[in-house]
Amino acid sequence: MHLGRGDLRLKLRHLEVFNALFDAGSVSRAAQRLNLSQPAVSVALGKLEEELGFRLFHRDRGFFAPTNEAILLYEEVQQGITALARIEQRADEIRSGATAGISIATNGAMSYNFLPRVIADFQRDYPGTHVELRVHSSRRIASWVGSRQIDIGLIDAPVPVAGLDTRLVSMECVCIMREDDPLSAREVITPQDLANRPVIAITGDHSIDRQLARIMSHAETPLIHNASSYFYAIARNLVAADNGVSIIDPVNGTAALGDGVTWRPFKPVVVHELAMITNRGQPAGIAAALFQARISEQLVPYAISDP
């Protein structure tokens, strides 16, 4: 690393040698302080004096006394070493992802009981990182990612915009009910168990709703929707308020929230398919790439390999 003005180019090592000689007063002590050989210190000093165009030390029987010019330069050298050290530290932080900005958006499914925990864990490991979390529709989020306004999107599949890098994660949905609901005594919930039971829909036309409707129809069992919620987490709140049961994703369904809600597997399987999307034409920054890997890692327990 160099500091320079005009034709003058100063290396950080030269400044460190000057500083060590100024403080130590001898080549041997300066070499020991810098973990260098004495010839290396002498060579560095000679190059620095050559660059500057004036002598920095009076040599007298092995001792080095600073010249007036060196005394005038000392404070500036101190500031230069400090500035260069800050630059190197900042570069290390950028390389490691320890300080940066990350933007992520989700349509809601992951915004309540998943991303807040992932963000908090990530920031404990990388405390200088700022994370922006937005919640919007899948189509708007895909548009943001495509126009590079957002680093990472977590949305429902299928992805409504072409040309994005997409990683799909399939999850087996669960049936949630209150802990005091008679259904909680069963190990697995089937379509017949939902006969004449109010079921909270997601939107009424969500992929989960359509899958459940097909399953119930195939089982020749009536499906009663008494409410719709738009977000899985809100469906869980409605169940907690003793307003029926619901089929939702496992992230929100199996979360231990202490709200009186429990869950059971539902068969046949209803699948929630999550898409993690990024911009294909612009590689993620170091911090965003680390955060994307952390999301993938935290999704592993919920994923099924063969939906």
In DSSP terms, 12 is beta-bridged to none
Single pTM value for the model: 0.67
Token pair belonging to 278: 């990024």
Domains of the chain listed by start with CATH number: 2-96 (1.10.10.10), 104-167+278-302 (3.40.190.10), 174-268 (3.40.190.10)
Q: Are 245 and 262 in contact (CB under 8 A)?
A: no
Taking only the tens place, the pLDDT of each residue in 94-108 is 565 554 689 999 988
CA dist 92 and 128 (Å) reads 13
Contacts of 91 (CB under 8 A, 6+ apart): none
pLDDT tens-digit profile, the chain (307 residues): 444 444 456 677 888 888 888 888 888 888 888 888 889 988 888 888 888 889 888 887 768 888 888 888 888 888 777 777 767 766 665 565 554 689 999 988 898 899 999 999 999 998 878 899 999 888 889 998 988 888 999 999 888 888 899 999 999 999 999 999 999 999 999 999 999 899 999 998 899 999 999 999 999 999 999 899 888 999 999 999 987 999 999 999 999 999 999 999 999 999 999 999 999 887 778 888 999 999 999 999 999 964 4
